[in-house]
A and B are shown apart, each in its own frame.
Chain A
Amino acid sequence: MNFFPASSASSAAVLLLCALCSPLCAQDDQDLEKVAELQKKVHAVVDRVKGAYVFIGGGSGVCVDPDGWILTNHHVAGGAQNWKVRFTGGKQYDATLVGFHPADDVALLKVRNGKDLPCVELGDSDALKIGDNVIAVGNPFMLGNGSWEPTITLGIVSALHVYLDNPGYKDAVQTDAQINPGNSGGPLIGMDGKVIGINGRIDVKRFMNRVNTGIGYAIPSNQIRRFMPHFKAGGRAFGGYLEGATVGECGDDRYENTGELGDGVFIAGLQDDTPASKAGLTTGDILFDIEGQRPYNLNRFHGIVGAWPAGSTVKVKYKRWDAAKKEFAVHETKVLLGDPEKLRAQEAQVGNLYLGFTPSYDFDDLGVEVDEVMEKGPAATAGLKSGDVIKKVGDARVRDWKDFKAALTGKKAGEKLKLVVLRDGKEMDLTITAEERKIEGMPEKQDE
C-alpha cells in the first residue's frame, strides 16, 4: 500500500504547480500572443499568394511563374482553347490552354506574352503532415466576380495519398478547408506560402445543394511538378503504369511468399520483353518501395506510379524469396513507367472519335480492359466502369487494343456502338455513343 500516499503526493504537486503558475505567467496575454503569432503567419501567407490567384470562367487557377503559366483543373479550362482570365484585383489577360491531363483533372494555361506576373511557387506536398494548417484560395459561388476579390478559407490536412476513381486522383491531399463550387482549380497553400495542391473535387450535395461537407481533395504539387515539362511541351499528358505486369495485393494466402498485407504488392504475372521484365522483375517479387513511397495496397501502388508521367524511370526496391537461404533478399532496380509515344499513338488511332475512357495495358488477349472512365464522357454515359473488359464491338470480337481500333475504323461521331463487356465474371451488353473529339492533341502554337 506504499504507492497510495506517493500518488496523492504527486497530485498535490500538480495542484501546487497550477496555483503557482496562473497568477505568475498571465496565461491570457501569453495565449493571445501565441494566437497573434499564428495570425501573423496566416496573414503573411494570404499576402503572399493572393495576387497570384486567377479567375477562370466560373472556376479558379493559380499563376506559378512570372511568365504566366497558370495551373487549374481540366474540368475548369479543358473545354476551350482560348480564355480571358483575371488576376485578383481584376486585371484581364488572354490565356491559351497548353497542356492537360484529363484523367487527373489538371490543365496548364499560358498568359500570352506574360511577363513579371505575380506568382507563387510549387511547394513540397510530400512534406505535409496530417493536421497541418492549409489555406484555400478560390471563388465559391462566384462571390468574387465584380470585386475580383477571392475567398480565403483555412483548414487542416485531413488525409494524404488518397486514391480516387473517376476522375482518377492518384495521390490526393484531403482537406477540411472549405472549398465549394467555384474553388475548383484554385490553390491549396501550405503555411510556408507555397502551393501544395490544386483543389479540384469535393463531396457535395448537402441539403440538396452543391456545397462543401468538410471533404475536399487537391491534386498534390509534387505530382504536378513531375508533369510540368509535359504540360509545357503541350497537349495531353499521360500517367505512368507498370507495363506488362499484373500486380496483386500481398496477404492473399492463395499465393506463397507474398508477405503480409501492407508489405507491398507482388508481381502476379509478367509478360516477356516489357519494361518490367527488362528491369529484372519476375513473378512473385514484392515491390515495397517506389521512389521512397510504400505501395501498401493496390490503390496506393496505382497511385504512386500514376502520379509519375508515362515515360519516367523510377527506382523500385523489391524483395525476392531466396529458396536456398529461406528468406527474402532485398533488390533494387529501375523501371520505365509506360511509353507516352505509344499512348499518344493509341489516342491518335481512334482518330476523331472520343469514347471517354483509357484502356489498360494489353494482357492475356482476353479483350480490352477499361482503365479510367472520364467524368460525363460517352463511356460514363454508357455505364462503362473501370475494370470492365470489352470483348466485342458490334459483331467483331476484340482481343486487344489493335482489334478495338480496327473495329472502330470508319465509325462516325454520333454512331451507336454495341459493346459486349465482361464485368465480375458476367457478360453484359452496353451501348456507347461515340463523340467527336473536341480538343486536338496539340494546341495552337505559342507566341514565344
Chain B
Amino acid sequence: MRRLFSASNASCAAFLLLCAPLSAQDDPTSAMARVLQKVREKVAKSVVSIEVVRDKDPDGRGGSGPSSTHQDYFNRPEGPCTGTLWSEDGYIVTSWFNVSGEVRRVTVRTHDGKSYDAKRLGYDATRDIALLKIEAKDLPVLPKSKLDEAKQGDFVAIVGRAPDPDVPTLNHGILSAVNRMKDACVQTDAELNYGNVGGPLVTVRGEIVGITCQVKPRTNWGQSGGVGFACKHTEIDKALPSLKQNRSVERGKEPWLGVTPAEGAEGVEGVVVAQVAAEGPGEEGGLQEADVITEIDGKRVKTWEELRAVLETKKVGDVVKLKILRKDKAGVQQPKDVKVKLGDNPN
C-alpha cells in the first residue's frame, strides 16, 4: 500500500509540472483576472477614501427610499466615499454628490493610511464633479487614456475605497457608450454604487478614462443597475482652472414632470406612463401608472419626444394642463384632465 501511495504522488507531481503552466496561460478568464488584479494594485495608490462630516439631518430622515423633497446626501448610507488623486501636489477629484451640501469637515485618507484635512474648492454640478485639496506632495497620479481611441466594448474597471478605506474595491465591465450626458460622460456597465462613485474608471492598462459620477438616489440608473457614468478626464481638465479658483457651476433648472414613459404603445396614441416618481410633481398632480398622456397645454403629443419638446419650453414651477386617458374599472379608457406643477429635474 505504501508503494502505491508514493507512486500516485509522484505521478501527481509530474502531471502538475506538465499541466499547470499550459492551462494557466491558455485560459483567458484567469488572464483577465490577473490583469484586473494588476490594475487594482496599480490604480489603488491613486484612489483615496473621503470622510464627510455633516450636521445631522434636521428632519431626522434619510437613509431610505427615493424622495424628491429631501437632500440627496441624506438619502445614502453613512460611511466613507471615494475620490481620485488628480495632481502630485494634492488636488483630488470626486463626484459632487459625495461632498455636496453643508459639510463640517472633509477628511481624506490616502493609500498609505495617512489622513489629511481637505479643503473643498469649486464644483461643477452639471458634470457632477468636485475638487478637493490636501497639503501633500509627490502623490501618485494615474496616466490618462487616449479618449479619441475609446470604443464601445472596451474593457474597463472601477476602483473604489469604501466602505473600508484600507481595502480597495474592484468592479469591471465594458464601455457601453462613449458619448453620453451631452458628450461629457462615458457610459459603463461596470457596477457603480455609493461606495465607489468618485473613483476612477480605468482601462485594463490602468489609465484613467474618467471619474465615476451621476449616481443619485433619485435617478433610475446608477446604483448597480448596470448603467453608470464617468465624467471624461478631458472634461475635468477643461473645468479644472475655474474649480481651482473656487468657482462653481450650478446645474440649470430643468422642468420635470416626474414620470418615466413606457416602452410600448397601448393601442392609443400618446405617452404611456410606466412609472411615477415617488413624491415627484407627477404624483402630486395625480398621475398614475398606465395613464396615457395625449395633450399638454392644448398641444397633441404622440411620443415622449414631442412631450419633452413642449416641456423644454416651460419653466420649473409652471403649471401644465394635461389631457390623459385612464382606464376605468370596466377597463375602458376615459379622458381626464390633470394639472401638474413642474418640478426641477433631479436626474
Q: How near does chain B come to A237, taking the closest CB pair, in angstroms?
A: 18
What residues on A are CB-neighbors of B267 within 8 Å?
79-80, 438-439
Residues from chain A with a CB closer than 8 A to the CB of B220 are 141, 180-181, 209-211
Residue-wise, chain A 291-321 has the 8 Å CB interface mask toward B (1 for contact) of 0000000000000000000000000000000
Within 8 A of B (CB), among A140-168: 140-145, 147, 149-155
Q: Which one of A39-47, A114-122, A223-231, A257-265 is at the interface?
A: A39-47
Residue A413, interface by CB 8 Å: yes
Q: Mark B39-67, 1 if CB is under 8 A from A, else 0.
A: 00000000000000000000000000110
Q: CB distance A6 to B5 under 8 Å?
A: yes
A211: chain B residues at CB < 8 Å are: 220-221, 223-227
Q: Are A153 and B304 in contact (CB under 8 A)?
A: no
Interface pair B332/A414, CB less than 8 Å apart: yes
In the complex, A182→B227 CA distance in Å? 12
Among B9, B178, B264, B303, max chain A CB count under 10 A is at B264
**Chain-B contact segment, one of A26-34, A240-248, A275-283:** A26-34
Contact A42 B13 (CB under 8 A): no
CB of B227 within 8 A of CB of A152, answer no
- A414 contacts B10, CB within 8 Å? no
Q: How large is the interface on A (under 10, 10 to 19, 20 to 34, 35 or more residues)?
A: 35 or more
Q: State whether A151 touches B266 (Cβ < 8 A).
A: no
**Does A349 have its Cβ within 8 Å of any Cβ on chain B?**
no
Residues of A with C-beta under 8 A to B174: 42, 152-154
Is the C-beta of A51 less than 8 angstroms from some C-beta in chain B?
A: no
What residue of chain B has the Cβ atom nearest to residue A415's Cβ? B330
Q: How far is the CA of A210 from the CA of B223 in the complex (A)?
A: 12
Least CB distance from A303 to B in Å reads 25
Are A182 and B225 in contact (CB-based, < 8 A)?
Answer: no
Q: Is the CB of B34 within 8 A of A78?
A: no
Task: Please give the distance in Å from A17's CB to the nearest CB on chain B.
Answer: 6
- Is the Cβ of A35 less than 8 Å from the Cβ of B25? no
* Interface positions of B from 291 to 315, Cβ below 8 Å from A: 303-305
Across the interface, which residues of A come within 8 angstroms of B147, CB to CB? Answer: none
Q: Flag whether A187 is at the interface (Cβ < 8 A).
A: no
Considering only residues 10-56 of chain A, those with a C-beta below 8 Å from chain B are 10-11, 13-14, 17, 21, 25, 27-28, 30-32, 34-35, 37-39, 42-43, 45-46, 50
A220 at the B interface (CB under 8 A): no
| B170 interface contact, C-beta 8 A | no
Tell me the minimal C-beta distance from B228 to chain A in angstroms.
Answer: 9
Q: How far does the alpha carbon of A438 sit from the alpha carbon of B262 in the complex, in Å?
A: 18
Assess whether B329 is interfacial by the CB under 8 Å rule: yes
Cβ–Cβ contact A14 & B263, under 8 A: no
User: Is B103 part of the binding interface, using a Cβ–Cβ cutoff of 8 Å?
Assistant: no
| Interface stretch (choices B82-90, B109-117, B150-158, B232-240) | B150-158
Contact A414 B330, beta carbon cutoff 8 Å? yes
B338 near A: Cβ within 8 Å? no
Query: Taking the complex as formed, is B128 at the interface, i.e. its CB lies under 8 A from any CB of chain A?
Result: no
**Contacting pair B263 A75 (CB below 8 A):** yes
Q: Main SS of the interface on chain A?
A: mixed
B252 CB-CB contact with A under 8 Å:
no
Interface residues of B in 143-196 (CB under 8 A from A): 151-155, 173-180, 187, 189
The listed residue (B5, B66, B303) touching A3 by CB distance below 8 A is B5
Interfacial chain B residues near A11, Cβ < 8 Å:
13
Q: Residue B248 at the A interface, CB < 8 A?
A: no
Alpha-carbon distance A10/B10, docked complex (angstroms):
7
Instruction: Report the interface size class on chain B.
Output: 35 or more
In the complex the two chains form, is B6's CB within 8 Å of A2's CB? Answer: yes
Are A180 and B20 touching (Cβ within 8 A)? no
Of residues 49 through 93 on chain A, the ones whose CB sits less than 8 Å from some CB of chain B are: 50, 57-59, 73, 75-80
Q: From the candidates A2, A38, A80, A154, name the one contacting B189 in the complex (CB within 8 A).
A: A154
Verify if B339 is at the interface (C-beta below 8 Å from A).
no
For the complex, give the distance between the alpha carbons of A67 and B111 in Å: 58
| Chain B positions 210 through 251: 1 when the CB is less than 8 Å from some CB of chain A, otherwise 0 | 000000010011011111000000000000000000000000
Q: Which B residues touch A413, using CB under 8 A?
A: 332
Q: A184 on the interface (CB 8 Å rule)?
A: yes
- Give the number of A-B contacts (CB < 8 Å): 215
B1-28 at interface with A (beta carbon < 8 Å): 2-3, 5-6, 9-10, 12-13, 16-17, 20-21, 25, 28
Residues A79 and B264 in contact, CB atoms below 8 Å apart = yes
Residues of chain A with a CB closer than 8 A to B38's CB: 28, 31
> Is the C-beta of A428 less than 8 angstroms from some C-beta in chain B?
no
Closest to A135 in B: B153
A208 at the interface (CB under 8 A from B): yes
Instruction: Check B331–A31 contact: CB distance below 8 A.
Output: no
Instruction: Please give the distance in Å from B76's CB to the nearest CB on chain A.
Output: 11
- Chain B CB within 8 A of A9 CB: yes
Q: Evaluate contact between B66 and A2: CB separation under 8 angstroms.
A: no
Q: Is A344 an interface residue (CB 8 A)?
A: no
Give the residues in chain A near B177, CB-CB below 8 Å. 143-144, 149-152
Is there an interface contact between A42 and B153, defined as CB atoms closer than 8 Å? yes
**Across the interface, do A184 and B16 meet the contact criterion of CB distance under 8 Å?**
no
Indicate the member of B13, B38, B187, B226 with the most A CB atoms within 10 Å. B226
Report the Cα distance A30→B290, complex, angstroms: 54
21 of the cross-chain contacts (CB-CB < 8 Å) are A3-B5, A9-B13, A10-B9, A10-B12, A28-B38, A35-B35, A42-B155, A57-B263, A58-B304, A80-B267, A143-B180, A151-B177, A153-B189, A154-B153, A178-B227, A181-B220, A208-B65, A211-B226, A212-B225, A414-B332, A439-B267
Task: Identify 4 new A-B residue pairs, CB closer than 8 A, beyond the known A3-B2, A3-B9, A75-B263.
Answer: A43-B154, A58-B274, A79-B265, A135-B153
Shortest 7 CB-CB distances between A and B: which pairs?
A178-B226, A10-B13, A211-B225, A34-B31, A59-B263, A3-B5, A79-B265
- Interface residues in chain A, defined as those with a beta carbon under 8 Å from any beta carbon in chain B: 1-3, 6-7, 9-11, 13-14, 17, 21, 25, 27-28, 30-32, 34-35, 37-39, 42-43, 45-46, 50, 57-59, 73, 75-80, 135, 140-145, 147, 149-155, 177-182, 184-185, 206-212, 376, 378, 381, 413-416, 433, 435, 438-439
Q: Which residues of B contact A (CB under 8 A)?
A: 2-3, 5-6, 9-10, 12-13, 16-17, 20-21, 25, 28, 31-32, 34-35, 38, 65-66, 151-155, 173-180, 187, 189, 204-205, 217, 220-221, 223-227, 260-267, 269, 274-275, 278, 290, 303-305, 329-332
